[in-house]
Amino acid sequence: MSPGLPYLVVRSHALMADLLTPERMRALVEQESLDGFIEQLVDTPYGEISIEAEGEISIALEKVFYKKFIERMMDIVDLAPRNIGDFLQSYYYLRFEVVNLKRIIRGKFSGLPNTQIIESLISIVPYSVESYEGLASAETYEDAVLRLEGTPYESLIGSLELSEKYDAIWPVEIALNHIYARAVLKSLERLPQRDRVLVRRIVQAEADVENFLVAAKQRGAREGAHRPEEMFPATYGIGLETLRATIESDDIASVIRELDWPYIQILAPLYTGDVALIRSRLRQHIYDIARRGRAANDFGFNVVMAYLVFSEIEKDDLVGIGWGITQGIVPEDILKYLAIPNFI
Amino acid sequence: MEMKRRIGFIERGTEFLKLKRDHLAKELTASIDVLKGRRSILLENLRVAYRAVTAAYISLGPTEVRSQASSIKTGLELEVLPRGVMGVRYPFIKIEKEPQIAGELDITLSEAAEKVLAILDDILQLAEFEARAERIADELGKTNRKVNALENTIIPSYRQVIKFIEDKLDEESLEELVRMKLIGGALARRRE
């Protein structure tokens, strides 16, 4: 039985102290070796990390950071009142499950061995499907999608026609993104009205930026460009007409300049050339939404959500740092694409 | 006579080898100049592409990058054919099929992949050029050693042998002449 929201809020406040500060993150980035990086983590909640000698180190580290995040999320879910627990499970588990489904479908599409597909999955208990192994053992990606019949992902079967038409899996991936966004927005109904604003802002910002990036990618392929209606069955802050203009415009900068804040700032790297910066700016924006949400209501659900948002961004940043250090990338080049150390 | 014919043949061969050496040296100098220029341009482009790949990895994470990269159905297909200059064989790389990166990748990764794809041709050409220059340099070294061995060892030793034989023959013919003169003198004295 849940000890109730007030306890969960107090607990979230306490757990915030476990999160790595921007200064700590910067110190991690500046480590010259992987040993130094792992050593720096010993004094943090990540503790001693032992990496198996076999396999790729950066991927092993990624698994460690994901595991920690899932543990943190589950600790919160265990303490949360039922409505909040259900929402958080569907928010995070659905997100990871969508990532896993994309990886299975991509793997089947390109004919990867089943073991390699399973190895690439985020290790979570299947949320809305029976088993990932079952899907990965399908003969083809179409077969894998057909096996989703009777699950919340059933509507993906409808995107197979488009997928066959273009001999590509992007229709399935986009359909998955929309299933996720719709399901999260629907699951918001479990939360009281006042607690929905924060999550809605986060989900919509993510969906808007993803839609815009997909549209921007279509710009070069005028002739072979896909119909915006097919690609964007659901839009939020950035509407279908803006997405159409993005695909058709010769000057993307002018389209971005017409957008509202924060998109004008998040998407600016599209015309300055460094597209990877968009994701770190989006993460910074989400970090900021959570921070403001927490400041607006320091005694409610926003604190719980802010803790989980900060934890997830920390996980993403640590994955990037771990990879960068194993590759011997200079700190400035790693730092540029992180969210927390750059958060002002 | 046989030795003289042989040394004539060797000297003609040496001249041919010298011509080959000069031609290879000219080819190598030209190749090195081209290589220097191309290499610096390629290094700069590689840096840009590598930065984009790095950004994609940091932004998406290594597992996601791998998963997305695996969805590229058509990979790079190459055919390596032999080509030759002055008898030096070097590999010629022909691109049979370029990877199709459109569609499936995230924009971050697709930008990085496009940057790598744009310089793929240059990388292959440079690799081909480097292999060519390396093999020409190798052949130039071998030809140079052959010319040196012929000019400094084989031809002089042949000349020495010929000189020795000629000296010996001269000596023998002089002895013969003296002997003939002595016999002639003795016969003349006996007739008197």
The chain B residue lying nearest A174, using CA atoms, is: B104
Nearest to A288 by CA among A310, A303, A315, A267: A310
Q: Is the pLDDT of residue A224 over 70?
A: no
| Minimum-distance CB partner of B70 among A112, A213, A320 | A112
Sign of CA dihedral B43, B45, B48, B54: negative
Which CATH code fits B19-140?
A: 1.10.287.3240
* B103–A279 C-beta distance less than 8 A: no
Pick the CATH number of A81-191 from 3.30.70, 1.10.10, 2.40.50, 1.20.1690: 1.20.1690
Whole-angstrom Cα distance, residue A286 to residue A202? 6
Q: Is the pLDDT of residue A78 over 70?
A: yes
In sequence order, which ranges of chain A are alpha helices (DSSP H)?
A: 5-16, 22-29, 34-42, 57-79, 82-110, 114-119, 132-136, 141-146, 156-166, 170-187, 193-217, 228-231, 240-248, 252-257, 263-266, 269-272, 276-296, 301-326, 331-335
Question: So what's the pLDDT on residue A326?
Answer: 92
The three-point CA angle A257-A262-A264 to 5° equals 15
Residue A164 touches partner B, C-beta closer than 8 Å: no
Return the structure tokens found at A170: 């992007």
pTM to 2 decimal places: 0.81
Percent of the residues in chain A that have a pLDDT greater than 90, as a whole number: 48
Q: What residues of chain B lie within 8 A of the CB of A59, using their CB?
A: 62-63
Is the complex ipTM higher than 0.85? Answer: yes
Q: Is the pLDDT of residue A223 over 60?
A: no
Domain borders along chain A are: 1-80+274-344, 81-191, 206-271
pLDDT digits (tens, 9 = 90+) for B103-131: 568 888 888 888 888 888 888 888 888 88
Output phi, psi for B75, to 5 deg: -90, -175
The chain A residue lying nearest B49, using CA atoms, is: A274
Which is more confidently placed, A280 or B100?
A280
* A170–B59 C-beta distance less than 8 A: no
Least confident of A102-111, A180-189, A279-288, B60-69: A180-189
* B70–A110 C-beta distance less than 8 A: yes
Q: Which of B107, B110, B115, B117 to mutate to test the interface with A (most CBs of A within 10 A)?
A: B107
Residue A278 touches partner B, C-beta closer than 8 Å: yes
* A316–B110 C-beta distance less than 8 A: no
